[in-house]
Chain A
Amino acid sequence: MSLRAGIVLFPGTNRERDMAIALAKVSGGREPVMIWHKETSLPPLDLIVLPGGFSHGDYLRCGAMAAQSPVMRAVRDFAEAGGHVLGVCNGFQILTEAGMLPGALLRNAGLRFLGQDHSMRVEQTDSIYTSGYAQGQIIRVVLAHGDGNYFADTATLDRLEGEGQVAFRYASPSGEVSDATNPNGSQRGIAGIISANRRVLGLMPHPEDYVDPLMGGEDGLPMFAGIVQGLAA
């Protein structure tokens, strides 16, 4: 199966290889194309990924500068035409700064960077990103962020919940969701949200770092397998 995936490189992006490895693993070794942030047009693609990193050093609000990059106009057009966009970590921050997903990512409640494993619960399965999981499944992922504290006003949160747009929630390994299982203060334990049309997903944790048992786990693999299954011609 052949997935045409593109990974956008902003200055300061640093998890593009992790993402490329994960995508290549489920695409018969086919490497995604790398797209420089100053590009204004895109090659034909099935999926665009905004990967993790510290675009522009996160010296302004995380993702705020990258959201103004020339390439983002093309990314927005791609999404508005029904294209699939995945934003992980800094990519999620960029999607919210670009207005492509609601809410904002604030500084972690503990005011420290979090680089550790954590569990999250799959909250919905009607997207290519989540169809490989069972509803309520607990998966282990890598956290690596200083600003992952998801915030939105109550009306927005209620709407996200009501329309099944909360994709992932931080949880304990046995599946409970509580303040104690919330690593960064995110409202309602939200780790990832999806657009109303189920095509734009943003999440803070890194499923791309757990696609190989050798590296400690493969709970991220179903996400990428689902993407290929849903998109590859």
Chain B
Amino acid sequence: MSARPVSEKLAREFGLNAEEWGRVQTIMGRMPSFTELGIFSVMWSEHCSYKSSRIWLKELPTKAEWVVHGPGENAGVVDIGDGLTAIFKMESHNHPSFIEPYQGAATGVGGILRDVFTMGARPIANLNALRFGRPENPRTKRVVDGVVRGIGGYGNCVGVPTVGGEVNFHAAYDGNPLVNAMTVGIAPKDRIFLSAAAGIGNQVVYVGSKTGRDGIHGATMASAEFDANSEEKRPTVQVGDPFTEKLLIEACLELMGTDAIVAIQDMGAAGLTSSSVEMAGKGGVGIQLDLDSVPQRETGMSAYEMMLSESQERMLIVLRPGAEEIARAIFEKWDLDFAVIGHITDTGRIVVRHKGVTEADIPLGPLADEAPLYRRPIQWPVPLPVLDNATITCTMPTDQALLQLVASPDLCSRAWIASQYDPAVGGQTVKKPGQADAAIVKIEGSNRALAITTDCTPRYCQADPKMGGMQAVAEAWRNITATGARPLAITDNMNFGNPEKPEIMGQFAAAIQGMAEACIALDFPVVSGNVSLYNETEGKGILPTPAIGGLGVIEDAHVARGIAIEPHQDLVLIGETAGWLGQSLFLREIMGREEGAPPPVNLVAERRNGDFVRHQIAKGCVHACHDVSDGGLLVALAEMALAGNCGLALDELNTAHATHAFLFGEDQSRYVIAAKDASGLLEEARTAGIPACLLGRTGGNELTFPGGSSVSLADLKEAHERFFKTWMS
């Protein structure tokens, strides 16, 4: 793109509003150049500046004894013992994945990997939280197929196992699917790399792939709604090269083993602009870039194009004096581009030179400090009223209802998706997708393992954003707890609609409040995150989706529990059952209604029940454990039976609630435990005041329900696996 005359009209085209445009002119004290306007517009885009969300994100707790680095770095860092840290983050690639599903998802994986290894961590696990439109929408199949292939294509090639995630389908995502990718890495506590530049005169080095014209203004595209012509934005989507990423990981980790690096930062959204501005800004220094030295894939690129390109697999490094040769040798060994493209200055400005011309000269302080910050108008959500269970009369027999539920898109087997990902590379995957409530990945050379999960129930968030936010955090905590691991911290990926609409801002703020309450009550702080707004197409917003990526640690990987049952065991339910049907999948899939308030989370009970379960696992009293979530108790039991290929028989219910409410209600803070002999556990629960009851016994080839009806394991498995097989055949 050749330079165009700078005007307010162009600024508007670049996504700046009139007030922001005025502020640019004030900071510059003159008419900005075309390149300067480009830099301002991407740095002040919603995607890079968090201008609508910053004010609310501050409400989230971010500290704990084990938190080494919270939000503000490329990823969050927590101490996991043995002198090691886990470094992790989740990030969205929603808009690109709708326009070009394969590349959008692939580069989402690539981007989040770079956020983690740029801090010195070797990535050991990938997860992804995906939301798609209705399966009946003809477009959905293409998006699902492309996104799954893209995640696999990238993750499999870089050699990082994909160990977990979640998938939902809902009409609200028809025009705006969500692709949230999470990476977890491991680094020694004393070898963590940060991005703040330092050392006047130090070299600024560019490594990785060459720069092309792809992804220009991607951050601006991700900060606007979609319309019917969104497909025309395809050129703003980047193209991924996982092979180069793999080389980049190895080369960077090799360089990190030396003392050559002062600071390092990946080039993500807004590419060279955001990496150079952030590194110099955080370090309180200036930076001068000479674009003639930038490795270029195409000829005739302008300064504007190079500064805004989002070409993938690139990093910016500030080197210590005298380290150039050792660094160059490492990148040449890995056949990667290496170029000194600038140096650190004491001017406090970013100066961009190209072909003998100063294309940009901007003071970094005001570019960051005077970035727009909005307290947008809010309309607080009114939670839906509690559904009266008396209005739900179910005549469908239990066995039929269960078969219909496990065959539904939101509850069916995810094997079709998981089998396109490599879950085992690295040789440390203890629990693969579907085997436990959280993925369990051991740390090589240690007995320790990490428990990792992603969680959110968007239909709860829609009905009551505050309770939904609270539930998302609680469920992540619960899933980690159910494996026996100790929950440590979360990363949050806030996917919402247009923040300029007061009701959307209300959803956002309420979800944050609910999350914050849960984080505090569960000692489960936020250490990293990402906000994706403007998830709307033709004015129609998604369900509010604050996706939570949770991480925990277990000292001995052998202690970690899965969900698979074996014969001759007692089945115990921990937690209170009130038969809550509002917003349940039973209500939606069996009764055809999406109504009511979501199940409330009692954070005191949550903590108490979870701590009890974790303690029982540590004592060795638990063979298998599964939390009760989507679909309620009977779906949880069916999942345990399928995972273990083992039947079970339930006793007659001792409850005042209707059978369908007891079996399919989605009351929170509950777990099913399978234990060889549960009498001791039940006694301890009674003493501790934890609600617990014996449900039945495991064994046989069928599931037998209260009242005597039953389903064979074979029929259950067929129903569970039917959806993807049929849909994708």
Contact A144–B156 (Cβ < 8 Å): yes
A52 to B246, CA, bound (A): 14
Query: CB within 8 A of B444: which of A17, A142, A208, A216?
Result: A17
Please, what's the 1-or-0 string for A1-38, where 1 marks a CB less than 8 Å from any CB in chain B? 00000000001101101100110000000000000100
Q: Which of A18, A56, A215, A216 has the most CB of B within 10 A?
A: A215
Q: Report if A162 contacts B (CB, 8 A).
A: no
Contact A144–B422 (Cβ < 8 Å): yes
A176 to B127, CA, bound (A): 35
Q: Which of B335, B423, B444 has the most CB of A within 10 A?
A: B423
Q: Report if B577 contacts A (CB, 8 A).
A: no
Q: Report if B427 contacts A (CB, 8 A).
A: yes
* Also in contact, A14 and B159, with CB within 8 A (given A113-B152, A115-B418, A142-B424): yes
14 contacts between A and B (CB under 8 A): A14-B159, A17-B444, A18-B425, A18-B426, A18-B427, A22-B427, A36-B333, A112-B149, A112-B420, A116-B415, A144-B425, A214-B558, A215-B442, A216-B429
Residues of A within 8 A of B426 (CB): 17-18
Contact B156–A214 (Cβ < 8 Å): no
Chain A stretch 48-89: residues in CB contact (< 8 A) with chain B: 52-54, 56-59
A206 to B427, CA, bound (A): 10
Residues of A within 8 A of B648 (CB): none
Q: Report if A177 contacts B (CB, 8 A).
A: no
* Also in contact, A215 and B427, with CB within 8 A (given A54-B156, A54-B157): yes
Query: CB within 8 A of B442: which of A36, A52, A112, A214?
Result: A214
Minimum C-beta distance from A121 to chain B (A): 21
Query: CB within 8 A of B159: which of A53, A56, A58?
Result: A53
Q: Report if B242 contacts A (CB, 8 A).
A: yes
6 nearest A-B pairs in the assembled complex, by CB-CB distance? A14-B159, A57-B243, A18-B427, A144-B422, A54-B157, A116-B419
* Also in contact, A206 and B156, with CB within 8 A (given A11-B334, A57-B243, A214-B430): no
- Chain B interface residues (CB < 8 Å from chain A): 149, 152-153, 156-159, 162, 241-244, 246-247, 333-335, 415, 418-430, 432, 442, 444, 557-558
Q: Report if A123 contacts B (CB, 8 A).
A: no
Query: CB within 8 A of B158: which of A14, A15, A142, A214?
Result: A14
Contact A14–B246 (Cβ < 8 Å): yes
* Also in contact, A58 and B430, with CB within 8 A (given A114-B419, A206-B424, A214-B557): no
Minimum C-beta distance from B155 to chain A (A): 10
Q: Report if A209 contacts B (CB, 8 A).
A: yes
Query: CB within 8 A of A21: which of B157, B333, B444?
Result: B444
Given contacts A11-B246, A58-B157, A214-B430, 13 further A-B contacts (CB under 8 A): A11-B334, A15-B427, A18-B424, A21-B427, A112-B149, A113-B156, A113-B420, A114-B419, A115-B152, A115-B421, A116-B415, A144-B156, A216-B429
Query: CB within 8 A of A115: which of B244, B423, B442, B558?
Result: B423
Residues of B within 8 A of A52 (CB): 425
Query: CB within 8 A of A12: which of B157, B162, B558?
Result: B157
Residues of A within 8 A of B247 (CB): 11-12
A58 to B243, CA, bound (A): 8
Residues of A within 8 A of B418 (CB): 115-116
In this complex, the interface size class of chain A, counting residues with CB under 8 Å from chain B, is 20 to 34
Chain A residue at minimal CB-CB distance from B429: A215
Contact A208–B442 (Cβ < 8 Å): no
Residues of B within 8 A of A112 (CB): 149, 420
Residues of A within 8 A of B334 (CB): 11
Residues of B within 8 A of A36 (CB): 333
Residues of B within 8 A of A214 (CB): 430, 442, 557-558
Minimum C-beta distance from B336 to chain A (A): 10
Q: Which of B157, B162, B429 has the most CB of A within 10 A?
A: B157
A101 to B6, CA, bound (A): 64
Query: CB within 8 A of B243: which of A56, A114, A216?
Result: A56
Query: CB within 8 A of B424: which of A11, A54, A209?
Result: A209
Query: CB within 8 A of B246: which of A12, A21, A215?
Result: A12
A214 to B152, CA, bound (A): 25
Residues of A within 8 A of B415 (CB): 116
Chain A residue at minimal CB-CB distance from B122: A17
Minimum C-beta distance from A120 to chain B (A): 16
Minimum C-beta distance from A37 to chain B (A): 11
Residues of B within 8 A of A215 (CB): 424, 427-430, 442
Chain A residue at minimal CB-CB distance from B160: A14
Chain A residue at minimal CB-CB distance from B444: A17
A52 to B274, CA, bound (A): 36
Q: Which of B334, B419, B421 has the most CB of A within 10 A?
A: B419
Chain A stretch 194-210: residues in CB contact (< 8 A) with chain B: 206, 208-209
Contact A11–B243 (Cβ < 8 Å): yes
Minimum C-beta distance from A169 to chain B (A): 20
A165 to B409, CA, bound (A): 45
A144 to B153, CA, bound (A): 12
Minimum C-beta distance from B592 to chain A (A): 34
Minimum C-beta distance from A24 to chain B (A): 11
Residues of A within 8 A of B420 (CB): 112-115
Please, what's the 1-or-0 string for A110-132, where 1 marks a CB less than 8 Å from any CB in chain B? 00111110000000000000000
Chain B residue at minimal CB-CB distance from A38: B333
A14 to B422, CA, bound (A): 11
Residues of A within 8 A of B246 (CB): 11-12, 14, 54, 57
Minimum C-beta distance from B344 to chain A (A): 32
Chain B residue at minimal CB-CB distance from A57: B243
A195 to B706, CA, bound (A): 60
Chain A residue at minimal CB-CB distance from B152: A113
A17 to B423, CA, bound (A): 15
Residues of A within 8 A of B422 (CB): 113, 115, 144
Minimum C-beta distance from B576 to chain A (A): 35
A95 to B243, CA, bound (A): 21
Minimum C-beta distance from A51 to chain B (A): 10
A127 to B110, CA, bound (A): 41
A12 to B56, CA, bound (A): 42
Contact B156–A115 (Cβ < 8 Å): yes
Please, what's the 1-or-0 string for A196-233, where 1 marks a CB less than 8 Å from any CB in chain B? 00000000001011000011100000000000000000
Residues of A within 8 A of B424 (CB): 18, 115, 142, 144, 206, 209, 215
Contact A15–B159 (Cβ < 8 Å): yes
A15 to B432, CA, bound (A): 17
Minimum C-beta distance from B714 to chain A (A): 15
Residues of B within 8 A of A12 (CB): 157, 243, 246-247
Residues of B within 8 A of A11 (CB): 243, 246-247, 334-335
* Also in contact, A14 and B442, with CB within 8 A (given A112-B420, A116-B419): no
Residues of A within 8 A of B428 (CB): 215
* Also in contact, A17 and B243, with CB within 8 A (given A11-B335, A115-B420): no
Residues of A within 8 A of B425 (CB): 14-15, 18, 52, 144, 209
Chain B residue at minimal CB-CB distance from A208: B427
Query: CB within 8 A of B419: which of A17, A56, A58, A115?
Result: A115
Minimum C-beta distance from B148 to chain A (A): 9
Residues of A within 8 A of B243 (CB): 11-12, 54, 56-59
Residues of A within 8 A of B335 (CB): 11
Q: Which of B153, B244, B424 has the most CB of A within 10 A?
A: B424
Residues of A within 8 A of B244 (CB): 57
A55 to B244, CA, bound (A): 11
Minimum C-beta distance from B297 to chain A (A): 16
Residues of B within 8 A of A58 (CB): 157, 243
Minimum C-beta distance from A180 to chain B (A): 14
A95 to B110, CA, bound (A): 30
